Amino acid sequence: MEVALGQIPPDTMIENGVLVDVATRRLLDGVYIFISDGRVAAIAKEKSKVGPETKIIDASGAYLVPGLVDAHYHIESSRLSPRRHAQITLPYGTTTLFEGSHEICNTLGLDGVRYLLEESEGLPQKIFVGLSSATPPTPYETSSAYIGGKEAEEALKLEGVAGIDEVMDYTALFNGEERLHSVIEAGLTSGKIVEGHGVPSPPQADAFLATGVSSTHFSGDGAKAIALLERGCFLELKPRDSRQAIRELVAAGIDWQMVGMCVDDRPAERISQLGHLDYELRICIEEGLNPVTAIQLATLNNARHWRKEHEVGIVAPGRRADILFIPDLDAFKVDKVMANGEIVAEKGRLTVDIPIRQAPAYVLKTIKLRKPLTAKDFEVRAPAGRSNVKAAVLSPFYFSSDLPPITRELLVEGSLVQRDLSHDVNKVAIVRRDGGGLGVSFWEIGYQHGAVAMSVLHDSHNISVVGATDSDMVRAVNRVAEMGGGIAIVRDGVIKAEVLLPIAGLMTDRPLPEVVAGLDRINEEAAKLVPGKLLGPNPVDTQTFIFLTCYPWGIVLTDGGLINVRNGQPVPAVW
Amino acid sequence: MEVALGQIPPDTMIENGVLVDVATRRLLDGVYIFISDGRVAAIAKEKSKVGPETKIIDASGAYLVPGLVDAHYHIESSRLSPRRHAQITLPYGTTTLFEGSHEICNTLGLDGVRYLLEESEGLPQKIFVGLSSATPPTPYETSSAYIGGKEAEEALKLEGVAGIDEVMDYTALFNGEERLHSVIEAGLTSGKIVEGHGVPSPPQADAFLATGVSSTHFSGDGAKAIALLERGCFLELKPRDSRQAIRELVAAGIDWQMVGMCVDDRPAERISQLGHLDYELRICIEEGLNPVTAIQLATLNNARHWRKEHEVGIVAPGRRADILFIPDLDAFKVDKVMANGEIVAEKGRLTVDIPIRQAPAYVLKTIKLRKPLTAKDFEVRAPAGRSNVKAAVLSPFYFSSDLPPITRELLVEGSLVQRDLSHDVNKVAIVRRDGGGLGVSFWEIGYQHGAVAMSVLHDSHNISVVGATDSDMVRAVNRVAEMGGGIAIVRDGVIKAEVLLPIAGLMTDRPLPEVVAGLDRINEEAAKLVPGKLLGPNPVDTQTFIFLTCYPWGIVLTDGGLINVRNGQPVPAVW
């Protein structure tokens, strides 16, 4: 205020740029931006207020764009700690993230929120937390924590918690599950936002939204996008998966105020290949959206949806001084990034020190097997006297709505059901990270050797392990537990590759090149185990997502064994 | 949710209308709107879910428009209680009001908020309260209550309190006054909205907005409107005073998402002549704004600004079923009004019973003079031995930025300074309604007879009285006090007209025709006292507004005497 009134000089002044005004969707020339204490003080028409100490930044040739605001993001999916993640995403212009915290909350409960907020202290990148609505993800899984209405009410009192993160368990929602609805109610009562996930087409969309859910991140076509918008749903486009929708929405000439955008999930190595929200913004422009409108989606619209437009999303008095310098709006390559009033990156490189802090004890050693597993833990017993059994074998890629489970015949030796590697049938297990038990089954995934275990398992983040031998499965799981979390590839009793993810069993604060090299090696070694079936170029990443229980699609393996997630009935692995 | 899923039938279904979709700014044909428990359950493509008890409403020939949402309004200015006010404004389609509560809060403190929320219980019109930031309005006035940071924090916990109402005391704001800034801080911390008022042009605009103020209700031209929008200020147009701005904004082709609209103040008799927010909306259409955009301004945009878009502002699942039936969008005359799922008005007439409740004791008898006034109270003493004095006489219409006070010579009789009726100089006083004192001065307003007293006095709502004789002034003030609030016209010791405003001294719950007749009679009788100078056709209404201290314009009369509101210095009435 005092700077705007000319009573004291600004810390910094930016001149000669063209300001992208996301409120009116116009360009603004000939202004001076005064910055004080990390916030914008004034958009001035003259520079008379500058003092001798004022730092002057010449933005000639650049458009000045508000720092990008990601409406829905999971830092955990990068495998990097929040501060390490900020180091690599700030240069792409992401100055604010709305973090969906269910990964870390499923392993640490409200301590996960605490960690995110502590990490973000003093960070130029703002992290607002969407509290997990999915702890546990569904009633069918056991996660290491519980967040119900009471816990939500508590967490929502924190200023850094901006609402409730992606409600996604359709079945529980439509069944009126008490825990989930009480979390939604806490969100609505707090005046904060309740986010959705994968909101279906009408008429289920109406039911979803009628519960108080406000939004969804979106991959789909234009007709569905419009149907959701018409129903008052804020749409967080994932442009890479919504190219057709963008073209159709542009053609329909809609008002875009209820549309935003997000990255959602992106592992570290993909960030360094593609970029971050800037990449999604470029896709919108490629698909015909006016660049200034595209910028609105990635800034003001996201900020308004989350009710943080007084803090971020626009270069205007009182807001954080988060400003991108961009030579060409159509190409949308970020040249320089200001966050909280400081230039933090130039030409893709960080220009400030973002020190990595010692991870606090409460986020470490979160894998709590009571004792090391043995081969006995993975035995599947046949009914007495049988030489073969029928088995419900999981399909290669059963992350889909219409793949039935496969019934296969498997041999029995010494009353134990055997794999059938000749038909690609592996054993698979989910081991509770709190040491409370495990579920075992079969999966037609095709590894001919070894085992792959990991403590990243959406969304419970128990330990999943798949393998061609029980002994390699044992070794892999025990190694993951010893590391306090991570990914391990074992072949013939030997650890071939491993990545430590000691923070909540999900993240590391090691430098990016080391993490990328480690993940590359993991994928290479996994490929050498010959996974035959459909897991694509990145079998390890696929394994992290394939045990989601929130979609009512059929039979899924959980830590309690196979479950039909359409009706909650357990399904025998063999009979 | 259950209705949307087809598990139970809706209470009501609307068919054959054309839905105005304010999210995408399009029209939507061939939909069935399912309503349950006062809220929209689904926007369906077929009517299969209807049950035998479902009430079916045929909307053939009508556009279906979300109920209107007024972004900034003072019920008190209508002189009617909230429930009486709802009876007359619901037929115009106003189903939600964001009520700026500083009138009632200056007389009752937080009990004013309590009264507003109690009155709105069970009312089809939703009243969200913006807590007064102006209690007291400025440090120069004494009002009957105090709302600081602590009181604000308390009130903001209430779900019905949507934020902090119009910050307007420039001087205190820019001087960093502790009370005002702590109220703003409480608003920002609560995650709710901090409203502005009369935000000036840049560079003061920047200073105003830098304090955390989000918005302003707006009368002005297009250039100022755009300057404020560019600075991230949400603009609540008062279209009747912004015709030129509307034309200029239309011509500029702006994005309208940061623009809303409001009525602000309108006395009951003007409501029955003009209408309510529908009238403002018609003005926007007249000035060239697309009708669907104009509807967005008066519905979704206002609701989003106030962070209540999950409740009101759009016909969509989960929201209140507030729906207007409008035969012609361009003419925008409301034919039928649904609020909370019930038809409440048709063709301008209320069709439901909105019972008037007994006003609670805590809002009555709020004028607390310790004893009746006497003529002595209005004496102005001259310095000893003087036969005439110089006096700082208030200008006829000094509600303006550039009118200096007038210096006049006045005669002294028996050491008391006299009026000069031949030069239109009356005596004027502001009497504290808590009995704590009064300020007396002179005003060149021209009444040749009698006196006019009233307990409506923006924004302190002390009692103002102007008169041609001290004895009539005494009688008028004492009568206002006896009534527990209201307006009284006295001539030669006789009460010529009076209106009782017993609720907080500001409002009545009597029927509209009676109130209008009473106010008409007041104005007629006031005219008979011959106010010579510039008070227009409605001198009484003007008197309510003319003692505002929040604009830094010059010398104003307060309950403590004349004050220079530019610097807070007292000014002697005579010397």
Q: Which helix (H) or strand (E) holds A412?
A: strand A406-413
- Locus of tokens 């409480």: B186
Mean pLDDT, rounded, for A440-463: 94
The verdict on B174 touching A (C-beta cutoff 8 Å) is yes
* Residue A382 DSSP code: P
**Which pLDDT score is estimated for A283?**
98
Mean pLDDT, rounded, for B413-424: 95
**Is the pLDDT score of A192 beyond 60?**
yes
Q: Find the range with the poorest average confidence among A72-81, A521-530, B12-21, B172-181.
A: A521-530
**Contact call for B307 and A191, based on CB within 8 A:** yes
pLDDT per position as a tens digit, B24-83 = 999 999 999 999 999 999 999 988 779 999 999 999 999 999 999 999 999 999 999 999
**Is the pLDDT score of A400 beyond 60?**
no
**Which pLDDT score is estimated for B410?**
97
CA distance B164 to chain A (A): 14
CA distance B414 to chain A (A): 51
**Which pLDDT score is estimated for B446?**
86
User: Which 257-316 residues of chain A touch chain B by CB within 8 A?
Assistant: 257-258, 296, 304, 307, 309-310, 314, 316
**Is the pLDDT score of B455 beyond 70?**
yes
User: Which 196-255 residues of chain B touch chain A by CB within 8 A?
Assistant: 202-212, 214, 226, 229-233, 252, 254-255
**Contact call for A316 and B232, based on CB within 8 A:** yes
* Pairs across A and B, CB distance < 8 A: 185
**Which pLDDT score is estimated for B533?**
64
Residues from chain B contacting residue A3 (CB–CB below 8 Å): 210
Average per-residue pLDDT for chain A = 94
pLDDT per position as a tens digit, A370-393 = 899 999 999 999 999 999 999 999
**Contact call for B203 and A5, based on CB within 8 A:** yes
**Is the pLDDT score of B342 beyond 90?**
yes
pLDDT band at B546 (very low <50, low <70, confident <90, very high): confident
**Which pLDDT score is estimated for B148?**
98
pLDDT band at A399 (very low <50, low <70, confident <90, very high): low
CA distance B44 to chain A (A): 7
Residues from chain B contacting residue A214 (CB–CB below 8 Å): 310
The rounded distance, in Å, linking the Cα atoms of B336 and B327 is: 10
Cis peptide before B136 (omega within 30 of 0): yes
Mean pLDDT, rounded, for B466-471: 97
**Contact call for A255 and B23, based on CB within 8 A:** yes
pLDDT band at A201 (very low <50, low <70, confident <90, very high): very high
With CA atoms as reference, the chain A residue closest to B189 would be: A159
**Contact call for A24 and B229, based on CB within 8 A:** yes
The sign of the dihedral angle between the CA atoms of A315, A319, A320, A321 is positive
**Which pLDDT score is estimated for A541?**
80
Residues from chain B contacting residue A208 (CB–CB below 8 Å): 1
**Is the pLDDT score of B549 beyond 90?**
no
pLDDT band at A38 (very low <50, low <70, confident <90, very high): very high
CA distance A511 to chain B (A): 36
With CA atoms as reference, the chain B residue closest to A39 would be: B210
Mean pLDDT, rounded, for A525-550: 80
Overall pTM > 0.90: yes
Give CA torsion, residues A306, A312, A314, A318, to 10 deg.
120
Q: Find the range with the poorest average confidence among A323-327, A489-493, B181-185, B517-521.
A: B517-521
Mean pLDDT, rounded, for B292-301: 98
Please give, one letter per residue, the 3-state secondary structure of B262-317.
CCECCCHHHHHHHCCHHHHHHHHHHCCCCHHHHHHHHHHHHHHHCCCCCCCCCCCC
**Contact call for A252 and B188, based on CB within 8 A:** no
Average per-residue pLDDT for chain B = 94
**Contact call for B317 and A1, based on CB within 8 A:** no
**Contact call for B232 and A314, based on CB within 8 A:** yes
Task: Take residue B165 and report the two structure tokens written for it.
Answer: 């109402």
Does residue B212 contact residue A310 with C-beta atoms inside 8 Å?
yes
User: Which 18-77 residues of chain A touch chain B by CB within 8 A?
Assistant: 21, 23-26, 28, 34, 39-45
Q: In terms of Cα–Cα distance, which of B17, B38, B313, B316 is closest to A207? A: B316
**Which pLDDT score is estimated for A16?**
97
E-strand ranges in B287-415 read 323-326, 336-339, 342-346, 349-350, 388-394, 406-413
pLDDT per position as a tens digit, A122-170 = 999 999 999 999 999 998 999 999 999 999 999 999 999 999 999 999 8
Does residue A549 contact residue A564 with C-beta atoms inside 8 Å?
no
pLDDT band at A358 (very low <50, low <70, confident <90, very high): very high
With CA atoms as reference, the chain B residue closest to A226 would be: B24
**Contact call for B25 and A254, based on CB within 8 A:** yes
Residue B402 or B143, more confident: B143
With CA atoms as reference, the chain A residue closest to B231 would be: A316
pLDDT per position as a tens digit, A293-321 = 999 999 999 999 999 999 999 999 999 99
**Which pLDDT score is estimated for B407?**
84
Residues from chain A contacting residue B26 (CB–CB below 8 Å): 230, 252, 254
* Residues found in chain A: 575
Does residue B332 contact residue B20 with C-beta atoms inside 8 Å?
no
Mean pLDDT, rounded, for B272-290: 97
pLDDT per position as a tens digit, A472-511 = 999 999 999 999 999 999 999 999 999 999 999 999 999 9
**Is the pLDDT score of B188 beyond 60?**
yes
**Which pLDDT score is estimated for A470?**
98
Q: Which of A43, A128, A159, A323 to mutate to test the interface with B (most CBs of B within 10 A)?
A: A43
**Contact call for B43 and A318, based on CB within 8 A:** no
Cis peptide before A572 (omega within 30 of 0): no
pLDDT per position as a tens digit, B498-510 = 999 999 999 999 9
**Is the pLDDT score of B529 beyond 80?**
yes
Strands B425-431 and B438-444, how do they pair?
antiparallel
